[in-house]
Amino acid sequence: MSAPSPSTPLPDERSQSLNGLGVLVTRPEHQADALCQLIKQHGGTAIRWPALVITEPRDWTPALAIFDQLADYNLAIFTSTNAVDRALPLIQERGGFPPQLDIAAIGQATAQALERQGVTRCLRPAHGFTSEALLELPRLQHVAGQNIVIIRGEGGREWLADTLIARDAWVARAEVYRRQPPAVDAKPLLDRWAQGEIGAVVITSTESLRNLFDMLKTAGQNNLRDTPLVVVSARIRQIAVEYGCRYPLLARDASNQAILAALFGLTTNPPPPLR
């Protein structure tokens, strides 16, 4: 049996089946519906278990002050769909984006969230959905003297801001949500694993992976290590490997269709364990 490629191409969904595969979906509750429906439509069983809760930021004041002064900025960067969903209504209440403001999204899913709210002029990487991919765009290569706002969650990764500052930009951070681990009892999940109901796990953020390990504790962590994981970035995959996960599979991107393609791959060509 040959090993799968590092990322899985998108298949013709109409001819594919998940053949009863039980898929643990760890996305936040408000973001899980579409993927769960796709899994069900293609013959799988979606098991909802949010490993991340999105809540209000500790203080809205700094972000609102930035949104009141968007005319002073040259570029606004959205780092996630949560950033879009939380910030756009507030920006629209203040008259929307100034015409001279360039808008960028860290990946396709974030760009699509902007498009759903009517924002069609958006820079995004053609491939990849990381800070590194975004920083390769020509628009972000020459930013000296420009005012840039990064719209994100509290405690977000600093690589993007640090690199832009190193390129002599002035960078502000508008933090519009907070990530928290859920307060739940993992016993029902351990029971489903013991009954053989979980054949794959979808992980879409590093926080979700860490939270899931913490929730499972010692009793369930080996179950996670021995279950195929579909992850959506090389960074998540690396952390999974460091945690001892033996079957991490990298989806082409973070879209539902790419995740579904990776799940199809598990049913037709299971990945060999890492050695």
Contact 199, 218 (CB under 8 A): no
Is domain 55-179 classified as CATH 3.40.50.10090?
Answer: yes
Q: Which CATH architecture has domain 10-52+183-268?
A: 3-Layer(aba) Sandwich (3.40)
Count other C-beta atoms under 10 Å from residue 256's C-beta.
Answer: 19
Equal CATH topology for 10-52+183-268 and 55-179? yes
Residue 9 reports pLDDT greater than 70: no
Please give the model's pTM, rounded to 2 decimal places. Answer: 0.81
Which among 27, 129, 118, 134 has a CA at the least distance from the CA of 77?
134
Strand pairing class (229-231; 200-203): parallel
Structure-block tokens of residue 35: 């993927």
Domain boundaries, the chain: 10-52+183-268, 55-179
Q: Report d(CA 191, CA 237) in Å as an integer.
A: 26
Contact 186, 214 (CB under 8 A): no
DSSP for 199-211?
-EEEE-SHHHHHH
**What whole-number percentage of the chain has pLDDT above 90?**
72
Could you report the per-residue pLDDT of 52-98, keeping only the tens digit for each?
Answer: 999 999 999 999 999 999 999 999 999 999 999 999 999 999 999 99
Residue 22 reports pLDDT greater than 90: yes
Could you report the per-residue pLDDT of 99-146, keeping only the tens digit for each?
Answer: 999 999 998 888 989 999 999 889 998 776 778 889 999 999 999 999
For 25: left if phi > 0, alpha if psi spans -120 to 50, otherwise beta; the answer is: beta
